[in-house]
A and B are shown apart, each in its own frame.
Chain A
């Protein structure tokens, strides 16, 4: 057995799943406290120090307008996570309402809604978002709106699936027999289930959203200058690629780190926490595999 320290780290991660939350929490903390921890104002230009390398005054140097790179990177966390949270919350809100409504009422209304959901999902989310930006024009709030309109359908489909599976649970029947009204059943019994599951999914989705925001900004269709956003900082830096690759590499690394943290969390969810009814096939298999391992170990049941 190869038991390097490297492996031990991985095994530790397997033992304490909540460890994977740490990087995400660190980034959230940076986002919240960024106005107090940035050494400079991220948008103030200082032409006396343009394109300077790292120094005691500017740890990561300055950009072509003399703005402090470190401050801009730190503020970038806030910009990205803020935009991401708005889209996520709005998409969740719309998706959960439409999806659970469709699942709860059933019939023709459900058929119409599920068709719309499926059509939206037949296009890659970012293409759909780009089409909407093309119609309403670029800009920060356009981007938020476009991404929300592209993202809600995922959560709607999920919510509907959860509602339908919950409706068939005996306790819902019991509540109905006891005379609970539709609204009471929905808000008291079904919605909490929907939310708990969909929120888990959404947090696994956050990485993809951060990427989408950065990509739109990189294409000049999202966050606009001078707001420090990594995708937009990166496209700014592209003109200085040959002499000052730092202007491109630093925001790129920051962006990748945030996305890695969220995707790590998402992978954890996919492996362990996500209910199998939703992922069906794939997850059922994973669960079976885990079951098998437990059987072998706990009961020595290799016979089966």
Chain B
């Protein structure tokens, strides 16, 4: 693992994001912190609605139209705090430092424009190269992302290409500004299983070559195990557990993490071992209640779980820092250790 413990290039501290529309407000992100270092892959894992996309893309100003947002906290990139920046300066930052790859490449590319020119105009805008040079760079990017016959694909429209090819083009687009961080929002969810592995391999390859950081937003533990270095488990807008992938996946502590891992199908398991899900549904985030948000679904919950919000505490770990927000489980571990 090539984790570098120098300066993080993107660091979020105590981030709170409230979303408003019409008559409802939702606290989508409730006091989250995480950081990303150059050359590492950070996986952000959670169910849909857990706030993983809002938490990652929100500070960059990439939230859907029609929703008003209220953000508090710090999102540090270099020496700048992204929170509270004007839309204009955020826009400037987004194209250059950050590349974003979205879930469904077919709808994420403009259907009225050819692939090549979409890419070349981005190169032209960000690098200031001449038009001809931009086209050359664009073709190079297509080639680099493993698109066969890039000269032909250059003139294609999105609807004329397969999902896998489009996701490669999307990655090429994200790389056009030579970003230091690549945010991949469920990059393989919409793709065929065989293509998924190729795309993940491509991301890893790019990371090795360019030493860029990847923030991988996903709900798929299999993907995390394959490519990520560190993991943040998000539940209902709060970080439940975080640590290196090897540590968290092998020694999960938070009941939610355990449940999540238990619900992953294991091909080697015997048929008699039933797949276990987590009972209940995630809480309604428009109603703020005290205590741990997982308590209603947790089998270990004690009375204080509904009263006191748990904080992230470091526990003993065999590999890197391991933080857990569950006092009950931490007490259990300590109890075992003492006994």
Contact = CB atoms under 8 A, between A and B. Distances in A.
Interface in B17-37: 19-26, 28
B49 A300 contact: yes
Interface string B159-188: 000000000000000000000000001100
Interface string A1-21: 100000000000011000000
Interface stretch (B50-58, B82-90, B193-201, B247-255): B50-58
Contacts of B52: 303
Contact of A297 (B22, B50, B51): B22
A296 B286 contact: no
Interface residues of B, number: 29
Contacts of A302: 19, 28, 51, 53-54, 57, 63-64
B68 A303 contact: no
A304 B48 contact: yes
Interface string B120-151: 00000000000000000000000000000000
A229 B49 CA distance: 59
A153 B154 CA distance: 49
Contacts of A303: 48-49, 52-53, 103, 185-186, 217
Nearest to A299: B49
A249 interface: no
Given A297-B19, A303-B52, A1 B67 contact: no
A14 B25 CA distance: 17
A168 to B, nearest CB: 30
B289 to A, nearest CB: 15
Contacts of A297: 19-22, 24-26, 67, 286
Interface residues of A, number: 15
Interface string A266-304: 000000000000000000000001001100111111111
Contacts of A299: 48-49, 285
A19 B23 CA distance: 18
Interface string B65-86: 0111000000000000000000
Interface string B290-325: 000000000000000000000000000000000000
Given A1-B68, A293-B66, A293-B67, A300 B28 contact: yes
B237 interface: yes
A301 B103 CA distance: 14
Nearest to A298: B24
A147 to B, nearest CB: 40
B286 to A, nearest CB: 7
B185 A296 contact: no
A293 B49 contact: no
A78 B66 CA distance: 42
A66 B22 CA distance: 53
B26 A300 contact: yes
Contact of B285 (A15, A289, A293, A300): A300
B288 to A, nearest CB: 13
Contacts of B50: 300
A254 to B, nearest CB: 35
B18 to A, nearest CB: 10
Contacts of B26: 297-298, 300
A293 B54 CA distance: 14
Given A300-B19, A301-B48, A303-B185, A292 B64 contact: yes
Contacts of B237: 300
Contacts of B67: 293, 296-297
A14 B103 CA distance: 33
A287 B23 CA distance: 18
Interface string B261-294: 0000000000000000000000001100000000
Contacts of A1: 68
B54 A298 contact: no
Nearest to B217: A303
8 contacts: A1-B68, A296-B67, A297-B21, A297-B24, A298-B26, A299-B285, A302-B28, A303-B217
Given A302-B19, A302-B51, 14 more contacts: A14-B22, A15-B23, A292-B64, A293-B67, A296-B66, A297-B22, A298-B26, A299-B49, A300-B54, A302-B57, A303-B49, A303-B52, A303-B103, A303-B185
